[in-house]
Amino acid sequence: MSSAGDLDLFVIGAGSGGVRAARMAARRGARVAIAEVAPLGGTCVNLGCIPKKLYSYASHYLESFEESHGYGWHGGIRPVLDWPMLKKNRAVEIARLNAVYGDLLAGAGVTVLRGRAHVVSENLVQVGSKVYGAKKILIATGGHPVIPKVPGAEFAISSNEIFDLPAFPAHLVVVGAGYIATEFASIFRGLGATVTQLCRGEQLLRGFDEDARHFVAAEMRKKGIDLRTGADVEGVERGADGRLHVALRTGGEIVADTVLCATGRAPNTQGLGLEGVGVRLAPNGAVIVDTHYRSNVESIYAIGDVIDRVHLTPVALAEAMTLVDHLYGEGKRVLDYDLIPTAVFTHPSVGTIGLSEAQARARFGSVRVFRSEFKALKHTLSGSTERTLVKLVVDAATDRVVGLHMVGADAGEAIQGFAVAMTAGATKAQFDATLGVHPTAAEEFVAMREPVARRIVPSTRRHWRLPAEKVQRRARTPLRAARTAPACLAE
């Protein structure tokens, strides 16, 4: 058994947050070991961000083939998806990334232990038959998908299994309304499947801006997704033909080849031994931590999905950097959870940073909203009916842009640049003074001049108005939200 002073930091979990914390701590001179029972890289590399984005890329090619006809491309047969090849090529890339993570850890001088870790005491961790001593222990074990407990739940799959289905599903039922469910609905529809998405609530993507939620739902329906709100699953049965019969609580059933349940995730803390050493856990198993990511046990810390704050890879990375700075640096780094750029890889994609309109109204009271909806230049020839939405939410008292939302092609790419501006505290006046890149959809963010005079929030149907003088001035201005011309022609 090693003594408590052998290691400065013992990290449990080699996902995004754990690997970053281990590497950065080692670079600052700490003696670090990391334990992982699964392939290196965690959910993001193996079962999340990376394979999902690869499949998202794949899902656009058929649509692009159809759209090319408007640009003069003809001839050839309609392309057919080779599902086994897609799975194989994805697996090769993931294996490469697993090796890269191993090399990064080794290069930083981190000791990698392959096996399941168990916390023995405040300063001891057991992996296999060996016990290791460490001054600090970091829990970075991530989370796992949870399938609802309904009759026949064993016939459903989670997002963990969706990438390696033996056969491509002709009809996929997606249960859930969050970003994981919504992304896979779009991906498999783009790949050629018939897709039915069941949302228990009134709309998908709860917590996102209302305009963005309703806009992307309408666009997804245009793509052919059977999106049903207010729909919940009663149970699942396998028929004599091998297909799955999904019974709905409101009556009726759907017959499908595969049922994907993407209704939530839970922290991976079971079996770690945390309760035995007195670590306080939330009812769902999340490690409860303070502002410095320390649990109630002085030597034990936690970051990433296991603390159940924001389930995003960049957040786990930022938490890792903040923690390492606190433990082995100057302690000046602070993570702002209000300004987290986020993308949802639907068709079309969603990009957002900051507050929704409703959140901004609750926080600031008086806000100005700028909204524009239009057909992107690409689709003037493609034949597609897809439209783009851009929206700014501005604190009226300070003129600071506090929310930025987009639904459209490459929304995530556009949002990243604006995230820098918003993090720096950009005002609407500074947006107005910024030149746009023409012709792009993102230039609309710096071209909107007049706030929306009257808005109806779809979920509540409540109205709000600007002061009378603003309404009068607005009436003399063409309605930007309804236009289809490029920004340069609408000034």
CA distances from 113 to 134, 277, 430 (A): 14, 22, 51
As annotated, the residues of the chain forming the CATH 3.50.50.60 domain(s) are: 7-144+266-328, 153-263
Q: What is the pLDDT of residue 259?
A: 98
* DSSP-derived secondary structure letter, 205: S
- The DSSP letter of residue 437 is P
Q: What is the pLDDT of residue 478?
A: 31
DSSP string over 11-78: EE--SHHHHHHHHHHHHTT--EEEEESS-TTHHHHHHSHHHHHHHHHHHHHHHHHHHGGGGT---SPP
Cβ atoms of residues 261 and 148 within 8 Å: yes
The CA distance from 276 to 267, in Å, is 17
Residues listed for the chain: 491
Gap between the Cα atoms of 134 and 144, Å rounded: 27
* CATH superfamily name and code, 342-490: FAD/NAD-linked reductase, C-terminal dimerisation domain (3.30.390.30)
Q: Would you list the DSSP string of 397-432?
A: TT-BEEEEEEESTTHHHHHHHHHHHHHTT-BHHHHH
Do the beta carbons of residue 47 and residue 329 sit within 8 Å? no
What is the number of other CB atoms lying within 10 angstroms of the CB of residue 201? 13
Q: What is the pLDDT of residue 483?
A: 39
Per-residue buried b or exposed e for 245-281, using 16+ beta carbons within 10 Å of the residue's own CB: bbbbeeeeebebbbbbbbbebbbbbeebbbeebebeb
Other CB atoms within a 10 A radius of the CB of residue 44 amount to 23
Positive/negative CA dihedral, 274, 277, 280, 284: positive
Q: How far is it, in rounded angstroms, from Cα 418 to Cα 106? A: 36
Tell me how far apart the alpha carbons of residues 153 and 77 are, in angstroms, rounded to a whole number: 40
Q: For position 491, what pLDDT does the model report?
A: 34
pLDDT in tens, the chain (491 residues): 444 458 999 999 999 999 999 999 999 999 999 999 999 999 999 999 999 999 999 999 999 999 999 999 998 888 999 999 999 999 999 999 999 999 999 999 999 999 999 999 999 999 999 999 999 999 999 999 999 999 999 999 999 999 999 999 999 999 999 999 999 999 999 999 999 999 999 999 999 999 999 999 999 999 999 999 999 999 999 999 999 999 999 999 999 999 999 999 999 999 999 999 999 999 999 999 999 999 999 999 999 999 999 999 999 999 999 999 999 999 999 999 989 999 999 999 999 999 999 999 999 999 999 999 999 999 999 999 999 999 999 999 999 999 999 999 999 999 999 999 999 999 999 999 999 999 999 999 999 999 997 444 443 333 333 333 333 333 333 323 333 333 433 33
Q: Find the catalytic residue in 118, 245, 379, 438.
A: 438
Hey, which residues does 138 pair with through a beta bridge? 11, 301
pLDDT given at position 77: 85
Sign of CA dihedral 418, 367, 425, 324: negative
* 49 half-sphere exposure, CB direction, 13 A CA radius: 14
User: What would the two tokens of residue 133 be?
Assistant: 């001593």
Contact 268, 154 (CB under 8 A): no
In whole angstroms, give the CA distance from residue 369 to residue 403. 9
Q: Is 438 among the catalytic positions?
A: yes
Instruction: Provide the 10 A C-beta neighbour count for residue 48.
Output: 22
Closest CA to 208 of 106, 84, 352: 352
Give the distance, in angstroms, between the CA of residue 258 and the centroid of all CA atoms in the same chain: 23
Question: Considering the entire predicted model, what is its pTM?
Answer: 0.90
| Other C-beta atoms lying within 10 Å of the C-beta of residue 457 | 15
Contact 123, 134 (CB under 8 A): yes
* Cα separation, 42 vs 40, whole angstroms: 6
pLDDT of residue 453: 74
In Å, how far are 153, 248, 261 from 235, measured between CA atoms? 7, 7, 12
Would you call the peptide bond into 439 cis, given omega within 30 degrees of 0 as the criterion? yes
Query: How distant, in Å, are the alpha carbons of 161, 216, 243, 409, 486 from that of 185?
Result: 15, 12, 19, 17, 31
Question: What confidence score (pLDDT) does residue 102 get?
Answer: 98
Homologous superfamily in CATH for domain 7-144+266-328: FAD/NAD(P)-binding domain (3.50.50.60)
pLDDT number for residue 5: 56
Give the C-alpha separation, 248 to 240, whole Å: 20
Alpha helices for 330-466 (secondary structure H): 357-364, 379-382, 411-423, 428-432
The closest of 458, 329, 407 to 27, measured between CA atoms, is 329
| Burial classification of residue 486, based on how many CB atoms lie within 10 Å of its CB (0-12 exposed, 13-18 middle, 19 or more buried) | buried
- Copy the structure tokens of residue 455: 């808005």
CATH code 3.30.390.30 region(s) in the chain? 342-490
Tokens of 217: 């739902």
Determine the CATH number of domain 153-263.
3.50.50.60
